[in-house]
Structure 1
Amino acid sequence: MQNVILKKELSMDELVIVSSEMERAKKSKALAYVLLIFLGTLGVHRFYLGHIGMGILNIVVFVFSLLLLGLPYMILWVIELILLSGAVDKINTRKEMELIHNVKMLRNRY
């Protein structure tokens, strides 16, 4: 919602810049889910989203869960499945806000 308000302050040229940069930088929910389903044990979906620490934690939990017949990892996997969509939205919103801010800073320079 805040991004919509910030976008209203931009000119058409600035909106085009933000839109094209956002297309290049945004993360895909579909790809994040594919990575979770097929490579979730290695935390690849977390590395894709830039959550390096969580990716490493996924690997540690998976290795630990091998000792306990996979139960801890299955619980984590279901939680990840539920929360992944919101995580991608949050990252994309944050990136868009950053791009809007950068465009405004450039405008103020000139």
Structure 2
Amino acid sequence: MDRTPKNLLLTYILCLPLGLLGAHRFYLGHRALGVVYLILTVAGLASAPWGIGFVFGGVVLLLCLLDLVRLPGLVRRANGGLN
């Protein structure tokens, strides 16, 4: 496991343009959640021609918006601090 201290600014920089791909979650060491974000985004893009892509896209977008609020705590926890 990577014990390098995580930077809040870098986490925000990753979340804003690449959040739908789970980049910020991978950076924080949450690989499983990063994969979930990635799968939801790919599923949304793949199912867009049938009109159901907005469901997957909406879920991952909501998760990213929630993460924007939760990032300070997630970074503290990743750095070994308490909630």
Please give the range of the TM-score, normalised by the shorter of the 2 chains: 0.7 to 0.9
Structure whose CA Rg is larger: 1
Aligned-pair identity (%) = 37
TM-score by length of 2: 0.73
Q: Name the residue aligned to 1:82.
A: 69
Q: Name the residue aligned to 1:56.
A: 35
Question: Which structure carries more helix by proportion?
Answer: 1
Aligned residues between the structures: 71
Moved over 4 A (4+): none
Does structure 2 retain, via aligned residues, the 8 Å contact 1:65–1:72? no
**Structure 1 residues not aligned, in runs of 5+:** 1-23, 95-110
Q: Name the residue aligned to 1:92.
A: 79
2:24 to 45, 48, 51: 45
TM-score by length of 1: 0.57
Q: How far 1:64 sits from its partner (Å)?
A: 2.8
**Over aligned residue pairs, what C-alpha RMSD do you find?**
1.8
Q: Name the residue aligned to 2:44.
A: 65
Deviations for 1:76-103, whole angstroms, at most 9, x for unmatched residues?
1111111111100111135xxxxxxxxx
**Structure 2 residues not aligned, in runs of 5+:** 48-52
What is the CA–CA distance in structure 1 between the aligned matches of 2:15 and 2:26, rounded to whole Å? 11
